Amino acid sequence: MENITISKLTSWKKNKKKIAAITAYDFSFAKLFSNQGIPVILVGDSLGMTIQGHNSTLPVTVKDIKYHTQSVRKGAPNVFLLSDLPFMSYFTSTQAIQNAAKIIQSGANMIKVEGGKWLITIIKELSERSILVCGHLGLTPQSFNFLSGYKVQGKNEKDANKLIEEAFLLEEAGIRMLVLECIPALLAKQITENLSIPVIGIGAGNSTDGQILVMHDLLGITDGKIPKFSKNFLAENGSIQNAVQKYIKEVQTGLYPDKIYSF
């Protein structure tokens, strides 16, 4: 695979080439996903649930993210690697800079943070230090307790307008990519069309610039309640390799997610 950069991903948005992304947490799956043509991998704090067995992302530490980022980078040297800054690891600008540096040094190209207006100063300080930042709006799993669970966000006009405003503010502050999670498809479309940076959706319809899924959801091995937006690509495709290829194709052609997998 050719080396994937943020400039390349931004050009894909301009040329309307969809981006297929997936989470990974180890060398073997990262290598498999890269070999099938996945351009973007996220070392997500979802590892708290998928790898560590917690009921939320909150217990995940910077040390955990560093370890899994190193493993994934070894398996996928050319993908664009995105890693989460975990809960309470970016409470202040100083803390954010120190922890982001550790994760970038572990192999990530970009770090991802969850939240809106309160992050503006932190994003500016990270960007000024040449650290690429991805925002995350909508359902933000690190706010699990505050949101009283995992619920669709932006359903009424007031909440939708707030998300639109925050998306613009985060881009102005310096984010170079945005994840929209569990928001109505029409709202995601509006935000995507009005930002110049790549917008990646998860449970946000098929009008975003790309999609991301937790690998366990894509492979149908999620334990417990399956999210509405998740599709088991392994069930009808025989092998993990075929499932990943099918996922990439359906993202690129806009077949996934259709209305069944959208809000």
Q: Which residues are catalytic?
A: 181
Alpha helices by DSSP H, listed for the chain, are: 6-14, 27-35, 47-50, 62-75, 93-105, 120-128, 157-173, 185-193, 215-218, 240-253
User: Is 166 flagged in the annotation as binding?
Assistant: no
Task: Indicate the pairing of strand 177-181 with strand 132-138.
Answer: parallel
User: Is 159 flagged in the annotation as binding?
Assistant: no
Here the tokens at position 24 are 């990974």
148: left (phi over 0), alpha (psi -120 to 50) or beta: left
User: Is 26 flagged in the annotation as binding?
Assistant: no
- Cβ neighbours, 10 Å, residue 88: 12
User: Is 46 flagged in the annotation as binding?
Assistant: yes
* CA distance linking residue 144 with residue 86, whole number of Å: 13
On the CB side of 239, CA atoms within 13 Å amount to 6
Distance of CA 203 to the CA centre of its chain: 11
* CA distance linking residue 142 with residue 154, whole number of Å: 17
* CA distance linking residue 119 with residue 162, whole number of Å: 15
User: Is 127 flagged in the annotation as binding?
Assistant: no
Q: Which residues are annotated as a binding site for 3-methyl-2-oxobutanoate?
A: 45-46, 84, 112
Q: Which residues are annotated as a binding site for Mg(2+)?
A: 45, 84, 114
Q: Which residues are annotated as a binding site?
A: 45-46, 84, 112, 114
